[in-house]
Structure 1
């Protein structure tokens, strides 16, 4: 992967603010969300938090339109009032990346998954999963973020935009439904700006098969530590007794955490 392409995809992660938007995620708008017992206005793409997931295949070509910005590592500078279309050919990348806004205040809420699937006819170098799910670890702030402001320190963490019941505000808790004996490819993204996050599912272990849009030698872990901005692709075997199990995501330094529920949907177990 060349330096310019690597800087654009892995460091800049395919979306900048002010503004670079994919054609599939082209509506930048403010929306009201109720978190931590308060309703606040946040900046979103298409009114969703996290933003829409973008899925492509290896060997696809992605086009990104930019307005009034420049890109580190790129030769082109977009002049005010002008635009430029960036052409990105995906060849070496496979697995999970993410896109996000460039400025600190917008990046707190404007982000989403960028998934690169195998090319047509190409197989994974590991057992085919029953399905795959994306899990984005994010953060929540007490104050309403204003343009140009610095978000400050998070007061809560989210899983796919959901806080957990421990915050006591009747926020909906994230739930992941699985079938007994199913094999699931989970795409974990740490979108928390300045904190490593520890991810785990009670009584379950993981097989790591990818890191930062590249296949990885398989490793077997009971918990995962993701640095800020890191992505991991993991296999989860739904092989425990049918029931419900806590999904946890905890800051490695602050002790603040959030949780969700892994829920088996079938009626037969071990």
Structure 2
């Protein structure tokens, strides 16, 4: 009889421990619609998530269970892929055609992802029907659990920076070109967080002098490798898609399609506005777009042209790749 009592106590204790130890759940509800967007200063038909372009950031902590209920209010199937997320136990929900079925118009699907043993910078994007050319993408960050250190001090701020190439035409027209086995035309522009060179306002990040900030840079574009740089500031690379690096310092970085980098920058310059520059690589046609690194104690705008970067030099990019690996 005493053995039964001890067994009961053990089972209750086990239940309590498992309940306490269970990883947290984070719930998101997304409404996917068409809407008007203005990345190049002209109205375009874009894809919005909860009315936003780019879509909302997902903030999570390693081992979290991330539950995302997606309602498709487009007039065509829609599917989201989670770039770099391992999807523990649910790899069939990676959002790739063939393993995950698209969401039919007027229907919803609940993605259940566990970000098990991952820390870093990622993004999501629509993976079918060339929807990515019209939006539907956003940042996905996974933070370390409290008490588990990362190899750098906590920054004063943490910014998502989505860069990419962009067309004036929407996904429907571009897909029709590809469906006829024709090559796409050259892209019209580049963007930073959905704002291109003719956009209504530049993308801007405000920093306090003397403090260090983390930028999570993802190339969410369609075709082009892009170079990213900040006037007058060095960038310390600390993470690439969930892997902490050797922390080399760069004046500019090539970010290829699908890649995500984390860099640390310190606002250690004279307080004013500095150019953030994105330009394409390996092309005879050079495109550039700019954003703003704004010091909070600045009242001085840009002076002079934005700093140049590498253009067609392949060796430069290979040297960078070797230093990262």
* Shared fold per TM-score greater than 0.5: yes
- The answer to whether the aligner puts 1:163 opposite 2:196 as a matched pair is yes
* 2:217 corresponds to 1:188: yes
Q: Hey, what does 2:119 align to over in structure 1?
A: 94
> Partner of 2:142 in structure 1?
116
Distance 1:267 1:259, change over 3 A: closer
Confirm whether residue 39 of structure 1 aligns to residue 43 of structure 2: yes
1:204 aligns with 2:233: yes
Q: How does 1:38-117 map to 2 (within 5 A)?
A: 38-64=42-68, 74=92, 78=101, 87-108=112-133, 109-117=135-143
The answer for the alignment partner of 1:225 in structure 2 is 254
Quote the Cα distance in structure 1 between the aligned partners of 2:194 and 2:45: 14
Task: State the Cα distance separating 1:41 from its structure 2 match.
Answer: 1.4
- Alignment TM-score, normalising by the size of structure 1: 0.79
Query: Relative to total residues, which structure has the larger helix share, 1 or 2?
Result: 2
Cα distance change, pair 77–182 in 1 and its aligned pair in 2 (3 A)? closer
**Larger-Rg structure:** 2
What do the CA deviations read for 1:10-68 (whole angstroms, capped 9, x no partner)? xxxxxxxxxxxx95251010111234342121122112111110010011122355898
Cα distance change of structure 1 residues 125 and 150 upon mapping to structure 2, 3 Å threshold: farther
Deviations 1:48-95 (A, max 9, x none): 111110010011122355898799963966598798755432233111
Check whether the contact 1:70–1:78 (CA below 8 A) recurs between aligned residues. Answer: no
Choose between structure 1 and 2 for higher RCO, CA contacts under 8 A separated by at least 6 residues.
1
CA distance in 1, matches of 2:279, 2:103: 42
Gapped regions of structure 1 (runs ≥ 5): 1-21
Q: How many residues align?
A: 243
Residue aligning to 1:18: none
8 Å Cα contact 2:162-2:217 kept in structure 1: yes
**Preserved contact between residue 206 and residue 234 of structure 1 (Cα < 8 Å):** yes
Distance 1:160 1:95, change over 3 A: same
Change (3 A) 1:70 1:50: closer
**Between 32-41 and 209-218, the greater mean CA deviation after superposition:** 32-41
* Range with greater deviation from structure 2 (118-127 or 243-252): 118-127
Query: Is the aligned partner of 1:133 residue 2:159?
Result: yes
CA displacement, residues 123-156 of structure 1 (integer Å, 9 cap, x when unaligned): 3220210111111002321223328545844201
In structure 1, how many angstroms separate the alpha carbons of the residues matched to 2:231 and 2:38?
Answer: 28
Alpha-carbon displacement from aligned partner over 1:139-182 (angstroms, at most 9, x marks no partner): 32122332854584420111111123xx4xx6211111111001
Q: CA deviation at 1:251?
A: 0.5
Do the aligned residues in 1 keep the contact of 2:80 with 2:124 (CA within 8 Å)? no
Mean CA deviation greater in 194-203 or 25-34:
25-34
Structure 1 equivalent of residue 23 of structure 2: none
Unaligned residue ranges in structure 2 (runs of 5+): 1-25, 82-89, 94-98, 179-183, 300-325
- 8 Å CA contact retained: 2:273, 2:298: no
Give the Cα–Cα distance (whole angstroms) in 1 for the partners of residues 220 and 100 of structure 2: 27
For residue 296 of structure 2, what is the aligned residue in structure 1? 265
Q: What TM-score results when the alignment is normalised by the length of structure 2?
A: 0.67
1:104: Cα distance to partner?
Answer: 4.9
Aligned equivalents of 1:100, 1:171: Cα separation in 2: 24
